[in-house]
Amino acid sequence: MSLEPVAPASDLLVLGKIVSAHGIRGAVKVYSHTDPLDNLLDYPQWTLRRDGQQQTLRVTGGRLQGRVLVASLKGVADRNQALELVGWEICLPREQLPDLQDGEFYWHQLEGLRVVTREGQLLGVIDHLLETGSNDVMVVKPCEGSIDQRERLLPYLPGQYVLDIDLQQGVMQVDWDPEF
Protein backbone atom coordinates (compact mmCIF):
# COMPACT_ATOMS: atom_id res chain seq x y z
CA MET A 1 0.00 0.00 0.00
CA SER A 2 1.42 3.35 -0.99
CA LEU A 3 0.16 6.87 -0.55
CA GLU A 4 -0.27 8.75 -3.80
CA PRO A 5 -1.80 12.02 -4.96
CA VAL A 6 -5.43 11.80 -6.02
CA ALA A 7 -8.34 14.17 -6.64
CA PRO A 8 -8.45 17.33 -4.51
CA ALA A 9 -10.33 16.76 -1.24
CA SER A 10 -13.04 19.21 -2.30
CA ASP A 11 -13.87 17.00 -5.31
CA LEU A 12 -14.26 13.87 -3.18
CA LEU A 13 -17.48 12.58 -1.64
CA VAL A 14 -17.44 10.21 1.33
CA LEU A 15 -19.45 7.10 0.48
CA GLY A 16 -18.38 4.84 3.33
CA LYS A 17 -15.84 3.99 5.98
CA ILE A 18 -13.68 0.99 6.81
CA VAL A 19 -14.77 -0.13 10.29
CA SER A 20 -12.79 -3.30 10.97
CA ALA A 21 -10.78 -6.18 9.56
CA HIS A 22 -12.58 -9.36 8.52
CA GLY A 23 -10.84 -12.69 8.81
CA ILE A 24 -7.11 -13.30 8.34
CA ARG A 25 -6.72 -12.79 4.56
CA GLY A 26 -6.89 -8.98 4.51
CA ALA A 27 -10.59 -8.38 3.93
CA VAL A 28 -12.14 -5.28 5.50
CA LYS A 29 -15.62 -4.55 6.84
CA VAL A 30 -17.12 -1.39 5.40
CA TYR A 31 -20.02 0.76 6.48
CA SER A 32 -21.57 2.04 3.24
CA HIS A 33 -23.55 5.28 2.87
CA THR A 34 -24.93 4.21 -0.51
CA ASP A 35 -28.44 2.98 -1.21
CA PRO A 36 -28.49 0.06 -1.66
CA LEU A 37 -25.49 -0.61 0.54
CA ASP A 38 -23.65 -2.75 -1.98
CA ASN A 39 -23.65 0.00 -4.65
CA LEU A 40 -20.25 0.94 -3.26
CA LEU A 41 -18.91 -2.27 -4.82
CA ASP A 42 -19.84 -0.93 -8.28
CA TYR A 43 -16.77 1.31 -8.13
CA PRO A 44 -13.59 -0.64 -8.96
CA GLN A 45 -11.26 1.87 -7.29
CA TRP A 46 -11.67 3.65 -3.96
CA THR A 47 -9.85 6.70 -2.71
CA LEU A 48 -9.18 6.22 1.01
CA ARG A 49 -8.73 9.31 3.18
CA ARG A 50 -7.74 9.88 6.82
CA ASP A 51 -5.91 12.66 8.66
CA GLY A 52 -5.02 14.54 5.48
CA GLN A 53 -3.59 11.46 3.77
CA GLN A 54 -5.07 9.78 0.70
CA GLN A 55 -4.43 6.55 -1.12
CA THR A 56 -6.16 4.76 -3.96
CA LEU A 57 -6.82 1.04 -3.83
CA ARG A 58 -8.46 -1.28 -6.32
CA VAL A 59 -11.42 -3.37 -5.13
CA THR A 60 -10.88 -7.03 -6.04
CA GLY A 61 -14.07 -8.45 -4.54
CA GLY A 62 -16.83 -7.91 -2.07
CA ARG A 63 -20.21 -8.92 -0.76
CA LEU A 64 -22.99 -7.69 1.48
CA GLN A 65 -22.97 -9.29 4.93
CA GLY A 66 -25.86 -8.04 7.05
CA ARG A 67 -25.63 -4.23 7.30
CA VAL A 68 -21.96 -4.03 6.26
CA LEU A 69 -19.89 -4.89 3.23
CA VAL A 70 -16.93 -7.22 3.29
CA ALA A 71 -14.42 -6.11 0.66
CA SER A 72 -11.05 -7.30 -0.61
CA LEU A 73 -8.55 -4.68 -1.76
CA LYS A 74 -5.53 -5.17 -3.99
CA GLY A 75 -2.31 -5.14 -1.93
CA VAL A 76 -4.06 -5.90 1.36
CA ALA A 77 -3.12 -9.52 1.96
CA ASP A 78 -3.38 -10.12 5.71
CA ARG A 79 -5.24 -9.04 8.83
CA ASN A 80 -2.49 -6.64 9.98
CA GLN A 81 -2.65 -4.71 6.70
CA ALA A 82 -6.46 -4.62 6.93
CA LEU A 83 -6.27 -3.28 10.49
CA GLU A 84 -4.12 -0.39 9.24
CA LEU A 85 -7.08 0.73 7.11
CA VAL A 86 -9.62 0.88 9.94
CA GLY A 87 -11.01 4.40 10.24
CA TRP A 88 -10.22 5.43 6.65
CA GLU A 89 -13.08 7.07 4.74
CA ILE A 90 -13.98 5.68 1.33
CA CYS A 91 -14.30 8.50 -1.17
CA LEU A 92 -15.02 8.88 -4.85
CA PRO A 93 -14.57 11.86 -7.14
CA ARG A 94 -17.93 13.59 -7.76
CA GLU A 95 -17.64 13.07 -11.52
CA GLN A 96 -17.69 9.27 -11.05
CA LEU A 97 -21.21 9.33 -9.60
CA PRO A 98 -23.89 8.39 -12.12
CA ASP A 99 -26.24 11.05 -13.44
CA LEU A 100 -29.65 11.02 -11.79
CA GLN A 101 -33.04 11.36 -13.41
CA ASP A 102 -34.96 14.63 -13.17
CA GLY A 103 -36.28 15.17 -9.65
CA GLU A 104 -33.61 12.95 -8.04
CA PHE A 105 -30.80 14.40 -5.95
CA TYR A 106 -27.74 13.25 -4.08
CA TRP A 107 -27.71 14.23 -0.41
CA HIS A 108 -24.61 16.38 -0.90
CA GLN A 109 -26.60 18.48 -3.39
CA LEU A 110 -29.28 19.21 -0.78
CA GLU A 111 -26.91 20.08 2.07
CA GLY A 112 -26.58 23.85 2.39
CA LEU A 113 -29.86 24.68 0.64
CA ARG A 114 -31.98 27.41 2.25
CA VAL A 115 -35.36 26.03 3.30
CA VAL A 116 -38.36 28.34 2.85
CA THR A 117 -42.06 27.81 3.45
CA ARG A 118 -44.79 28.42 0.84
CA GLU A 119 -45.18 31.86 2.38
CA GLY A 120 -41.48 32.61 1.91
CA GLN A 121 -40.43 32.28 5.57
CA LEU A 122 -36.80 31.16 5.89
CA LEU A 123 -36.59 28.19 8.29
CA GLY A 124 -32.81 27.73 7.95
CA VAL A 125 -30.39 25.65 5.90
CA ILE A 126 -30.11 21.89 5.45
CA ASP A 127 -27.16 20.81 7.59
CA HIS A 128 -27.39 17.09 6.80
CA LEU A 129 -29.84 14.28 6.19
CA LEU A 130 -30.63 11.19 8.23
CA GLU A 131 -31.84 7.80 7.07
CA THR A 132 -34.64 6.65 9.36
CA GLY A 133 -36.00 3.59 7.59
CA SER A 134 -39.43 4.93 6.64
CA ASN A 135 -38.15 8.12 4.99
CA ASP A 136 -35.12 10.37 4.99
CA VAL A 137 -35.11 13.36 7.35
CA MET A 138 -33.52 16.76 6.74
CA VAL A 139 -31.83 18.47 9.68
CA VAL A 140 -32.53 22.18 9.16
CA LYS A 141 -30.43 24.53 11.27
CA PRO A 142 -31.04 28.25 11.79
CA CYS A 143 -29.01 30.72 9.77
CA GLU A 144 -28.76 34.45 9.27
CA GLY A 145 -32.24 35.69 8.38
CA SER A 146 -34.13 32.61 9.57
CA ILE A 147 -37.40 33.21 11.44
CA ASP A 148 -36.01 31.83 14.73
CA GLN A 149 -33.09 29.87 16.19
CA ARG A 150 -34.78 26.44 16.25
CA GLU A 151 -33.33 23.33 14.69
CA ARG A 152 -36.00 21.43 12.79
CA LEU A 153 -36.30 17.86 11.52
CA LEU A 154 -38.32 17.78 8.31
CA PRO A 155 -39.25 14.64 6.38
CA TYR A 156 -37.73 14.50 2.92
CA LEU A 157 -40.87 13.59 1.02
CA PRO A 158 -41.02 15.26 -2.40
CA GLY A 159 -44.54 16.12 -3.45
CA GLN A 160 -45.80 15.97 0.11
CA TYR A 161 -43.58 18.28 2.18
CA VAL A 162 -40.89 19.17 -0.34
CA LEU A 163 -42.55 21.29 -3.02
CA ASP A 164 -39.62 22.53 -5.10
CA ILE A 165 -35.84 22.27 -5.23
CA ASP A 166 -33.85 24.91 -7.09
CA LEU A 167 -30.16 24.00 -6.96
CA GLN A 168 -29.20 27.07 -9.01
CA GLN A 169 -30.80 29.42 -6.46
CA GLY A 170 -29.84 27.22 -3.51
CA VAL A 171 -33.43 27.03 -2.24
CA MET A 172 -35.87 24.30 -1.26
CA GLN A 173 -39.52 25.24 -0.83
CA VAL A 174 -41.46 23.18 1.71
CA ASP A 175 -45.04 22.84 2.91
CA TRP A 176 -44.27 23.10 6.62
CA ASP A 177 -45.81 24.94 9.57
CA PRO A 178 -42.98 26.98 11.16
CA GLU A 179 -44.61 26.47 14.58
CA PHE A 180 -44.13 22.70 14.35
* CA nearest neighbour of 41 among 105, 109, 90: 90
CATH number at residue 80: 2.40.30.60
Same domain, 13 and 89: yes
**Parent domain of 79:** 9-95
**What does pTM read for this prediction?**
0.70
Percent of the chain residues topping a pLDDT of 70? 94
Q: Is the dihedral of CA 24, 27, 31, 35 positive or negative?
A: negative
The pLDDT, as a whole number, for residue 47 is 96
Give the per-residue pLDDT at 94. Answer: 86
What is each CA distance from 48 to 30, 61, 107, 120, in whole angstroms? 12, 16, 20, 42
Indicate if the pLDDT at residue 107 is higher than 90.
Answer: no
Pair (78, 20) in one structural domain? yes
CA 14, distance to chain mean position in Å, is 6
